[in-house]
Amino acid sequence: MVHKAKTFCRNCGALCSMEVTVDNGRLLDVVADGSVSPYGPYMCIKGQSSIEFHNGAEDRLLHSLKRDGQGRFVPIDAAQALDEIAAQLTALIDKYGPRAVALYHGTGAYRSVLGAQLEKSFLSAIGTPNLFSTMTIDQSAKWVTSGRMGFMASGKPAFVDVDLAVLVGNNPVVSHQTYPFGPGESGAPGRAFAAAKKRGTRIIVIDPRQHETARYADLFIQPLPGHDAVIFAAIAHILLRDGRYNKRFCDRFVTQLDALRTAVAPFTPELAAARADVPVAQIELAAQWIGEARCPFVGSGSGPSMSAHSNLNDHMIEVVNALAGGYRKAGDRVRNPGTLNPRTPVETVVAAGRSWEKGVKCRTVDIGKLFGEFPTALLPQEIMTPGEDRIRALIVFGGNPVMGLGDPERAVAAFNDLDLLIVLDPRMNATAKLAHYVIATSQPFERHDITIAGDSLYPTAFAQYAPPLIEKPVGVIDDWEFFWAVAARMNRPLLLKYWTYGLDFEHIRDCMALDMQTRPDPEDMLRFLCRNSRVPFDELVVNPSGVRPDMAEHFVLPATVDNGARLQLCPADVADELGQVLAEHSDPRFRYLLTCRRILEAMNSAYRDAERTRRKYPVNWAYMNPTDMAAEALNEGERIAIDSECGQIHAVVKAEAALRRGVISMTHLFGELQASRDPLQQAGSFTGALTSLQQHLEPINFMPRFSGVPINVATANAD
């Protein structure tokens, strides 16, 4: 029987509310449901593709697989696979200890709510510290910044309250990536920017590409990539030079202002303009607008975090935000005080913790955890470096790390060195192809979720529950079920806790001990996770479009006592790195810089094979400024060879006037791991092959260089 059901999408942080037409276990259609969602009716093309994926598109995996002695994948019953995995993990732990086991949490894991919660329980139950995720190959520069600077517990202002939005290397109209890293709204981002412009909000965009979000900019600055630290050091220089920083805020909440003044003194606007190749007047104007803003929010996306000096870039961007007082103040309205996880922001500094300097360390480098995780770029050496405590078993949950890491030679060698590689995924991705076991897991409309991942991102308080709309295929299990079932077979009881970033799992006291004999009911687990919610779970159940809790207005509270903590604007390692940047020159061997970019149709490597993606992107085009193409005598659609210091790929060139000269812009995780010779046949070019996991890693988070990669281009010789 055909019926309509409410749910929400789980492909990205926008968690768009939807209405799906269901017919006898098949999903027929989907439309946006704006009836209660704070974003109103909105969804993107991936919402549509996800319906097709549920119905079997993109060769969705319908049963688990095991690699046999000849390297072939043969179907295996999930229960049998779980038995074998539990036995092998137990044997490895008995012989080598719990550090033999590691887990990588990929993009597909963030919105698999029960899976992500039980993953933490599982790691705790077996006692391994080895947690890796995409965050340290993404924007962990922001974590490094809060670890070195500290952060304001009052939080950043909501987009509707902002009178100046500065977006650096961030394209939310495509990526839906905004709060808390940058200004904007995750859902219906274009609508939010259009409304902001109508309110008179000033918008500054700093990006080598005049992208989809830049159409809302009042000031568009188009620098060469990799110079954000210099640009923002220069903006700090101007604010301090002119005394235009927020003295009320700085007097109370920051320290090291004199050290900052000294460190940024050489970073004149002229120097920044020359390095980044932008007009001096634009840097002066940006600083002027930042200095005069009443409620600014200066933030960034993945661009600065993926380029050279990524930690310094994000630190200097945050320094400018701090000089401008870009945080909520005591008495300011808190528009979303959390629903499932209520929060009471206080105007106080959370001290810089430098977590990586203490506690449990990586085995191959003297570096501790960043927000509870080890740097993912170190995973290959944590696997390959000989020693009793090396990583021998890796569980990959919702990720494609062998591609995400880049440097395929090193990444593939490491993954092949594992005794046991288990991949939980509905797709046979490049990492799954190296696995010993691939566990086919359910898709969102077949499982139970609540909006934990959006709880602090929504512009106003909102929560939604999504029950399964259809039964999962017979051979498929839920992500959470993997962790529960393996733990049960290993005799390791699990505790369910409401874990969020910043919390230490071991220190969360409130927990639900799971029944390890009988499969727990997902609704009971979600009911537990809603224990402190402003909306009880049962109310979410009877309101399938979601609930906006009815409550009094919330305001940021003043601190009752001064805890003494201050934002550290210029610690010694930041000052040192500024000094290094000052002494640097661009590499004369390379004429271009490769930058990152995302497409609406795909989510990293997911949906790149969807029909509607392939139509527009048979390959990930190598976008180039038309004047550069003419200078290189390249024609539209021509095959080019791109060389970096450590690799070569072949790609197909496409003209894009919106891109500045000297830059080539490509989407990541397309193509195949093997050297790309025929991009059309290989469905794209793998840009990760241009990156090294040994050279140019950043300090602290070991972030590889995924943007601003020095390259040369030439016509590819047909072969």
Ligand X SMILES: Nc1nc2c(c(=O)[nH]1)N[C@H]1C(S)=C(S)[C@@H](COP(=O)(O)OP(=O)(O)OC[C@H]3O[C@@H](n4cnc5c(=O)[nH]c(N)nc54)[C@H](O)[C@@H]3O)O[C@H]1N2
- Which residues bind to ligand SF4, rule: CB under 6 A? 9, 11-12, 14-16, 43-44, 46-47, 176
**Binding site partner of 183, from ligand SF4, ligand X, Mo ion, none, Cβ cut-off 5-8 A by kind:** none
Does 407 bind ligand X (CB under 6 A)? Our answer is no
Query: Degrees (nearest 5) of the Cα angle 418, 421, 426?
Result: 155
Of the candidates 157, 183, 269, 399, which one interacts with ligand X according to CB under 6 A? Answer: 399
Q: Is 468 in the site for ligand X (CB under 6 A)?
A: no
**Cα–Cα distance for residue pair 297/301, rounded to 1 Å:** 13
Q: How many whole angstroms separate alpha carbon 250 and alpha carbon 248?
A: 6
Of 117-125, 265-273, 298-306, 350-358: span binding ligand X (CB under 6 A): 298-306
328 binds, among Mo ion, ligand X, ligand SF4, none (CB under 5 to 8 A by kind): none
Residue 595, H or E segment: strand 592-596
Nearer to Mo ion, 117 or 400 (CB): 400
Nearest residue (CB) to ligand X, 126 versus 379: 379
Position 615: which residue type?
R
Contacting ligand X (CB under 6 A), which of 175, 282, 464, 701? 175
User: Under rule CB under 6 A, which residues in 87-126 are in contact with ligand X?
Assistant: 106-108, 112
Site for ligand X in 364-393 (CB under 6 A): none
Minimum CB distance to ligand X smaller for 337 or for 375: 375
At a CB cut-off of 8 Å and minimum separation 6, what does 609 contact? 58, 59, 683
Nearest-angstrom CA–CA distance, 16 and 40? 9
- Please report whether residue 318 would count as binding Mo ion according to CB under 5 A: no
Kindly state whether residue 414 participates in binding ligand X, applying the rule CB under 6 A.
no
- Using CA atoms, how far apart are residues 491 and 471, in angstroms rounded to an integer? 29
- CA–CA dist 5, 79 (Å, integer): 31
Find, among 655, 623, 658, the residue nearest to 209 by Cα.
658
Q: With binding defined as CB under 6 A, does residue 170 bind ligand X? A: yes
Q: Which is nearer to Mo ion, 8 or 706 (CB)?
A: 706
Chain residues 115-154 in contact with Mo ion, contact rule CB under 5 A: 138
Q: Is residue 299 classed as helix, strand or coil in its secondary structure?
A: strand
Per DSSP, 291 falls in state H
Q: Contact at 8 Å (CB) between 578 and 569?
A: no
Q: In terms of Cα–Cα distance, which of 256, 257, 249, 245 is closest to 154?
A: 249
Residue 47: contacted member of Mo ion, ligand X, ligand SF4, none (CB under 5 to 8 Å, by partner type): ligand SF4
Residue bearing tokens 């080539």 = 664
Binder of ligand X out of 225, 473, 546, 684 (CB under 6 A): 225
CB of 108 to ligand X, least distance (A): 2
Q: Is 129 in the site for ligand X (CB under 6 A)?
A: no
Find the binder of ligand X among 492, 598, 639, 660 (CB under 6 A): 598
Non-local (6+) Cβ contacts of 573 within 8 A are 148, 699
Nearer to ligand SF4 by Cβ, of 139 and 701: the residue is: 139
Residues 465-524 within binding reach of Mo ion (CB under 5 A): none
Nearer to ligand X by C-beta: 256 or 464? 464
The two three-digit tokens of residue 133, written as one number? 């995720």
Which segments of 330-468 does DSSP mark as H helices, in order? 379-384, 401-404, 408-416
Give min distance, CB of 606 to ligand SF4, in A. Answer: 10
- State yes or no: residue 425 binds ligand X (CB under 6 A): yes
CB of 17 to ligand SF4, least distance (A): 9
Q: How far is the CB of 43 from ligand SF4 (least distance, A)?
A: 4
CB 301 within 8 A of CB 179: no
Cβ-based burial of 331 (10 A; exposed 0-12, middle 13-18, buried ≥19): exposed
DSSP state of 696: S
Q: Are strands 101-105 and 554-555 parallel, antiparallel or unpaired?
A: unpaired
**Amino acid identity of 546?**
G
**Rounded to an integer, what distance in angstroms lies between the CA atom of residue 571 and that of residue 260?**
9
User: Could you say which residues in the range 521-560 bind ligand X, by CB under 6 A?
Assistant: none
Q: Yes or no: say if 320 and 206 are a contact pair by the CB < 8 Å rule.
A: no
Q: Which does 16 bind (CB under 5 to 8 A by kind): Mo ion, ligand X, ligand SF4, none?
A: ligand SF4
**Which one of ligand X, ligand SF4, Mo ion, none is in contact with 401 (Cβ closer than 5 to 8 A by kind)?**
ligand X
Between vectors from CA 414 to CA 89 and to CA 702, what angle results, nearest 5°? 105
State the nearest-atom distance from the C-beta of 456 to ligand SF4, in Å.
Answer: 16
Residue nearer to ligand SF4 on the CB measure, 14 or 457: 14
Among 183, 303, 337, 522, binds ligand X (CB under 6 A): 303
- How many Cβ atoms sit within 10 Å of the Cβ of residue 183? 29
669: left (phi over 0), alpha (psi -120 to 50) or beta: left
Spatial CB neighbours of 654, under 8 Å, sequence gap ≥ 6: 621, 622, 623, 624, 636, 637
Nearer to ligand X by C-beta: 352 or 690? 690
Asked whether position 54 contacts ligand X by CB under 6 A, the answer is no
Query: Which of ligand SF4, Mo ion, ligand X, none does residue 14 bind (CB under 5 to 8 Å by kind)?
Result: ligand SF4
Residues near ligand X, by CB under 6 A: 12, 106-108, 112, 134, 137-138, 168-172, 174-177, 206-209, 211, 225-226, 228, 301-304, 306-307, 397-401, 404, 406, 424-427, 429, 441, 479, 595-598, 600, 602-606, 665, 668-669, 687-688, 691, 706-708
| Residue ranges binding Mo ion (CB under 5 A) | 138
